[in-house]
């Protein structure tokens, strides 16, 4: 029985490869995935390691595939003496069209603050890279009833001073930290509640029209088995997939889950 939902746009499913795959491995992956996507009802993008961006972007062009290639982080400066860092301009010239910013692994392992992330968001927009801004609460914060407050603070601080026009370029990803890489996915109801809250927060800051058009992805232990129940939710417009995006077959199975859902 097809399920129905009122969706604002085609969903966007993004693979976040984290620190996996060389350029050559990325190309092999694309050769398997690209032919499967010809009739795809979802938009697809892949956030690959820096060193794979160039080769992956070239491969996508060669295969004439509609898969956007992006990065998983960047620095907020244009250039400078920042050993080991990468600038937005460099990502663009390598072939990236988007960048994940504020991922919880960046916030928690590398101690990135929302203020720093806000600077990166602004820089990415300035350079024409579309940001996927991640926000999400830890397990402890959820248990303490702080989810709403955390999402509100992270969203406002990370998107501080953005104009309506800039806000229209943003993709938001709700990623509960306790669900990332743990196999413990948020229930569709829990995720929907958080997505609705995010949309309301954006409506109060940037207006209803901007909020309605905002694409909000869910991320955290997405698998072929749970993707449909998440995608059917009214305020879930896509998925950010880590572990299950590393094998083209599994990733494709996730993309296929949207087919049973009537828009």
Residues annotated as part of the active site: 103, 175
Kindly state the smallest distance separating residue 16's Cβ from ligand PGA, in Å: 4
Residue 166: which of 219, 114, 220, 202 has the closest Cα? 202
Chain residues that interact with ligand PGA, rule: CB under 6 A: 16, 175, 180-181, 219-222, 240-244
Instruction: Map residue 174 onto helix, strand or coil.
Output: strand
Q: CA–CA distance from 241 to each of 13, 18, 67, 107 (Å)?
A: 7, 10, 15, 18
* Residue closer to ligand PGA (CB basis): 20 or 152: 20
Backbone angles phi, psi at 74, to 5 degrees: -165, 170
Our CB check for ligand PGA shows the closer of 135 and 210 to be 135
Q: How far is the CB of 81 from ligand PGA (least distance, A)?
A: 31
Identity of the residue, 116 or 218, whose beta carbon is nearer to ligand PGA in the bound complex: 218
User: Phi/psi of residue 223, each to 5°?
Assistant: -140, 165
Q: Which is nearer to ligand PGA, 185 or 210 (CB)?
A: 185
Is there a contact between 137 and 146 (Cβ–Cβ < 8 Å)? yes
- Residue with smallest beta-carbon separation from ligand PGA: 242
Least separation in angstroms between CB 246 and ligand PGA: 9
β-bridge pairing 67-71 and 98-101: parallel
């Amino acid at each position: 029985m097809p399920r129905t939902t009122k969706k604002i746009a085609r969903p966007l499913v993004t693979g976040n490869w984290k620190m996996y795959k060389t350029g050559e491995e990325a190309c092999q992956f694309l050769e398997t995935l690209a032919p499967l996507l010809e009739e795809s009802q979802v938009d697809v993008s892949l956030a690959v390691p820096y060193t794979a961006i160039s080769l992956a972007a070239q491969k996508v062009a060669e295969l004439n595939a509609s898969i956007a290639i992006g990065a998983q982080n960047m620095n907020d400066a244009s250039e400078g003496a920042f050993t080991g860092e990468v600038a937005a301009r460099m990502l663009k010239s390598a072939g990236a069209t988007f960048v994940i910013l504020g991922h919880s692994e960046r916030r928690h392992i590398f101690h990135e603050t929302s203020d720093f992330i806000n600077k990166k968001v602004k820089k990415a927009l300035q350079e024409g890279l579309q940001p996927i801004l991640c926000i999400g609460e830890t397990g402890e914060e959820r248990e303490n009833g702080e989810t709403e407050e955390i999402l509100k603070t992270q969203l406002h601080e990370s998107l501080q001073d953005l104009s309506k026009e800039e806000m229209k370029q943003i993709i938001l990803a709700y990623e509960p930290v306790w669900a990332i890489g743990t196999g413990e996915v948020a229930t569709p109801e829990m995720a929907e509640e958080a997505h609705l809250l995010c949309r309301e927060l954006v409506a109060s800051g940037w207006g209803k029209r901007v909020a309605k058009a905002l694409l909000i992805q869910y991320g955290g232990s997405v698998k072929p088995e749970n993707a449909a129940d998440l995608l059917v939710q009214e305020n879930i417009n896509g998925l950010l997939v880590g572990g299950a995006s590393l094998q083209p077959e599994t990733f494709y199975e996730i993309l296929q889950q949207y087919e049973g859902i009537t828009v």
